[in-house]
Amino acid sequence: MSQAPVPAAPPAPERPLPTPTRDSQPFWDGMREGRFLLQHCSSCGKVRHYPRPVCSHCFSMESEFKEAPLGGSLHAWTACHHPFNFFFKASTPYIVALVDMDAGVRVNAQLHGVPESALKIGLRVKLGFEPVNKEVTLPVFVAE
Partner 1 sequence: MVHPLRDKAAVSGIGETAYTRGTSKSGLALQLEASLRALDDAGIDPRDVDGVIPYFPGGAIAEDFIANLGLKDLTLSAFIPMGGATCVAGIQMAAMAVTTGVCKHVLISVGRTGYSGQRVSTRLQQFPVFAQAAEFEAPIGMFAPAQLYAQGARRHMELYGTTARQMAEVAVVTRQHAILNGNVVMNKPLTVEDHHASRMIADPFRLFDCSLESDGGAAVVISATERAKDLKKPLVTIAGTAEGHPDSPASIAQRPDLLEFGLVKSAPRAFAMAGVGPKDIDVAEIYDCFTFTVIRQLEILGFCKTGEGGPFVMDGRIALGGELPINTHGGLLSQGHVVGLNHVIELTRQLRREAGKAQVKDAELGLVTGYGDMGDGSIAILRRAA
Q: Given the rule CB under 8 A, which residues bind partner 1?
A: 15-21, 24, 49-50, 75-82, 84-85, 88, 91, 93-94, 96, 98, 105-110, 116, 120-121, 132, 136, 138-139
Distance of closest approach, residue 79 Cβ to partner 1, in angstroms: 4
Q: Which backbone phi and psi does 118 adopt, to 5 degrees? A: -90, 0
State the chain's maximal CA–CA distance in angstroms. Answer: 78
Comparing CB distances to partner 1, the nearer of 43 and 108 is 108
How many other β-carbons are positioned within 10 Å of the β-carbon of residue 120? 8
Distance, CA of 71 to CA of 141 (rounded, Å): 9
Smallest gap from residue 97 Cβ to partner 1 (A): 9
Minimum distance of partner 1 from residue 140's CB (angstroms): 8
Min dist CB 83 to partner 1, Å, is 8
Between CA 62 and CA 103 the distance in angstroms is 19
Query: What is the C-alpha separation between 129 and 108, in angstroms, rounded?
Result: 13
Give 43 or 110: the residue with its C-beta nearer to partner 1.
110
